[in-house]
């Protein structure tokens, strides 16, 4: 296993892909509200633009700052050198093919969801007269689906880097992080417990070598050669 794989933030955000199905469910419930008020292509275009463009732009221009959870993020000055190397990989290993491939996959899924939405008409909590609210919910769901897919794809791209590539990556300059990454949330000193490296763990578990006591001379039992 590569040494930088031990960083828990990589795994947490990689697991974020599990949020894609729930987000697409919101799209289904939104599209199921009422009948289309305008042309199908126009409704789909609105949801596609609102859902894809902001996330695709972010991941290409200012990738998501992964050392954060929910509404909090680690202060930049508290990042380790290895974490700053990981940020460097996020910038150098960006791929329009990965970003575009994820977007195309979600476009195909959204089109299928739009076509089958009428079967969920009795399940959606939105009134049939509120088609606009339904489209807004679909747009929010699709935005979330893109976020939950694009960020894990970027994480996976970084995790596929070789150990030598990681070692050669310079730590990202602290004052250059805000203009190059989307740092969201209140900044705190720590979110998760610090990771103990294998070397530190091995050093702490190294058995102690007992020191043999120095021999003691019993003066009372020694004989006086002159006595």
- How confident is the model at residue 225, as a pLDDT? 44
Q: Is the model's pLDDT at 197 over the cut of 80?
A: no
Domain assignment present for 26: yes
Domain assignment present for 219: no
Tokens of 109: 């899924």
- How confident is the model at residue 215, as a pLDDT? 56
What interhelical angle do 40-61 and 96-116 show, nearest 10?
Answer: 150
Domain assignment present for 128: yes
Min mean pLDDT across 19-33, 61-75, 197-211 is at 197-211
The average confidence (pLDDT) of the chain is 87
Phi first, then psi: give them for residue 132, nearest 5 degrees.
-65, -40
Domain assignment present for 57: yes
Number of domains in the chain: 1
Residue 10's contacts (CB-CB under 8 Å, 6 or more residues apart) are: 4, 66, 86, 155, 158, 159
Kindly state the average pLDDT of the residues 73-96: 94
Q: What is the pTM (predicted TM-score) of this model? A: 0.82
**38 alpha carbon, distance to own chain's centre:** 37
Q: Give 38's pLDDT tier (boundaries 50, 70, 90).
A: confident
- How confident is the model at residue 115, as a pLDDT? 94
Domain assignment present for 194: no
Domain assignment present for 134: yes
CA atoms of 40 and 114, how far apart (whole Å):
9
- How confident is the model at residue 223, as a pLDDT? 47
Tokens of 202: 């091995």
Question: What is the DSSP code string of 14-25?
Answer: HGGGGHHHHHHH
Residue 73's contacts (CB-CB under 8 Å, 6 or more residues apart) are: 65, 67, 183, 184, 185, 186, 187, 188, 191
Q: Is the model's pLDDT at 88 over the cut of 90?
A: yes
Min mean pLDDT across 31-45, 64-78, 211-225 is at 211-225
Q: Give 226's pLDDT tier (boundaries 50, 70, 90).
A: very low
Q: Is 142 exposed, middle or buried (0-12, 13-18, 19+ CB in 10 A)?
A: buried
CA atoms of 10 and 13, how far apart (whole Å):
6
Question: What is the DSSP code string of 135-167?
Answer: HHHHHHHHHHHHHHHHHHHHHHHHHTS-HHHHH
Domain assignment present for 195: no
Min mean pLDDT across 1-5, 185-189, 210-214 is at 210-214
**211 alpha carbon, distance to own chain's centre:** 49
Min mean pLDDT across 67-71, 79-83, 167-171 is at 67-71
Cα radius of gyration rounded to whole Å, the chain:
28
Q: Is the model's pLDDT at 191 over the cut of 60?
A: yes
* Domain housing 31: 3-187
Which residue reads 């795994």 in tokens? 11
Domain assignment present for 45: yes
């Amino acid at each position: 296993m590569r040494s930088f794989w031990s960083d828990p933030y990589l795994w947490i955000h990689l697991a974020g892909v599990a949020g894609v199905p729930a987000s697409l469910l919101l799209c289904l419930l939104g599209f199921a509200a009422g009948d289309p008020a305008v042309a199908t292509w126009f409704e789909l275009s609105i949801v596609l633009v609102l859902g894809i463009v902001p996330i695709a732009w972010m991941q290409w221009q200012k990738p998501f700052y992964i050392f954060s959870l929910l509404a909090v993020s680690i202060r930049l000055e508290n990042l380790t050198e290895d974490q700053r190397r990981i940020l460097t990989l996020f910038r150098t290993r960006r791929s329009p093919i990965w970003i575009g491939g994820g977007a195309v996959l979600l476009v195909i899924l959204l089109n299928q969801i739009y076509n089958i939405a009428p079967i969920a008409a009795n399940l959606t909590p939105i009134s049939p007269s509120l088609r606009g609210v339904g489209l807004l919910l679909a747009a929010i769901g699709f935005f979330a689906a893109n976020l939950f897919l694009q960020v894990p794809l970027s994480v996976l791209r970084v995790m596929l880097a070789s150990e030598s590539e990681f070692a050669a990556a310079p730590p990202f300059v602290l004052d250059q992080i805000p203009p190059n990454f989307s740092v969201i949330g209140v900044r705190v000193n720590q979110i998760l417990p610090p990771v103990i490296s294998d070397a530190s763990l091995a050093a702490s578990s190294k058995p102690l070598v007992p020191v043999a006591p120095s021999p003691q001379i019993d003066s009372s039992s020694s004989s006086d050669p002159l006595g």
